[in-house]
Amino acid sequence: MKTSIISKNLLFIFCLLTLQTAFSQIGKASKVELPDSYEFDYIYKLKMTHKKGDITFDYYLNEDESYFGFNSEEMSKSGSDSEIFMVMDSDLQITAMFMEMMGKKVVQKTKLKASDISSNDDMSDYSFTEIDSKTINGYECEGYVTENDKMKITFYITDDVPVSLSSAFASNSKNLPKGLDADIMKKYTENGLMMEMIYEDKKKSKNNMTMECVGLEETDFSIDTTKYGSMLSAFGG
């Protein structure tokens, strides 16, 4: 399933983008110097329900920064004592994977491609319409539908929040779906989170899924990057 410009710039509909970016080796980034810390104000909990089961992803957000953190229980199942936390930093154009290995704290940095933070996807064959709004988890949400002959995505998004995931990505106004006003994209850039999404594959129903926000909580979590060494340090390098 190809990630669309809407999911990147408006809603961050698919956490699959994060998974793709985080776990693919795009390029060397070992020389990039990280800030001394990454600090977060909110945890945005997104539950994905699929035919094969449910999984909840936790996104860590900062009101004043474009980077965000990410983890889930599934990411730490490789070992009972292992912990993995991802940070996607669009300013530095890297993802950083913080983990414990052989009793040591290490970080693996991966360079992002420009296409991972700015979309050129052609969505000119999609339609885009506004639907009735509704309240989800106490937040007033506006509803939208975008679709073509292959898929239909219904989503509800609110700007009644102090944080956003969209600010992590550069906006591209080219090749937008028919009916999508660029002002809508701008509206949700600074303050906007998806509260619910229903994805329907018109060709293969087994790909259908829903995603819903099950929590938006304040936090004072931070990562002290100065305590993390390179991957080689875990092996005595």
Q: Which two tokens stand for residue 231?
A: 């991957």
Distances (CA, A) of 70 to 56, 199, 224: 11, 22, 15
Give the amino acid at 183: D
232-237's contacts with Cβ under 8 Å and 24+ in sequence apart are 233/104, 233/106, 234/101, 234/102, 234/104, 234/106, 235/102
What is the spatial distance between Cα 84 and Cα 72, in angstroms, rounded to a whole number?
Answer: 9
Residue 76: strand pairing partners: none
What pLDDT is stored for residue 19 in this prediction?
40
Going by their DSSP bridges, the two strands 84-89 and 68-71 should be labelled as: antiparallel
As to burial, measured by CB atoms within 10 angstroms (0-12 exposed, 13-18 middle, 19+ buried), residue 51 is exposed
Angle at 39 between CA 31 and CA 69, to 5 degrees: 70
171 has a pLDDT exceeding 60 = no
What is the spatial distance between Cα 147 and Cα 153, in angstroms, rounded to a whole number?
Answer: 6
Q: What are 73-123's pLDDT values in tens digits?
A: 665 554 445 678 999 998 898 999 998 877 789 999 988 765 555 555 566
68 has a pLDDT exceeding 90 = yes
Q: What are 182-222's pLDDT values in tens digits?
A: 667 777 777 789 999 999 999 999 999 999 999 999 999 99
What pLDDT is stored for residue 165 in this prediction?
76
Give the amino acid at 117: I
What pLDDT is stored for residue 21 in this prediction?
40
What does DSSP assign to residue 35? Answer: P
Share of residues in the chain with pLDDT > 70 (%): 67
Banded model confidence at residue 9, pLDDT cuts 50, 70, 90? very low
Residue 184: strand pairing partners: none
34 has a pLDDT exceeding 90 = yes
Domain ranges in the chain? 5-30+37-117+217-235, 127-212
What pLDDT is stored for residue 98 in this prediction?
94
- Regarding predicted confidence, which is higher, 55 or 3? 55
Q: What end-to-end distance do the CA atoms of the chain give, in Å?
A: 40
Q: What are 116-170's pLDDT values in tens digits?
A: 555 555 667 888 899 999 999 899 999 999 899 999 999 999 999 988 876 554 4
What pLDDT is stored for residue 6 in this prediction?
40
This prediction has a pTM of 0.78
Q: Which two tokens stand for residue 135?
A: 């309240």
What is the separation of C-alpha 28 from the centre of its chain, rounded to a whole number of angstroms?
Answer: 22
What pLDDT is stored for residue 38 in this prediction?
97
Q: What is the mean pLDDT of residues 39-65?
A: 91
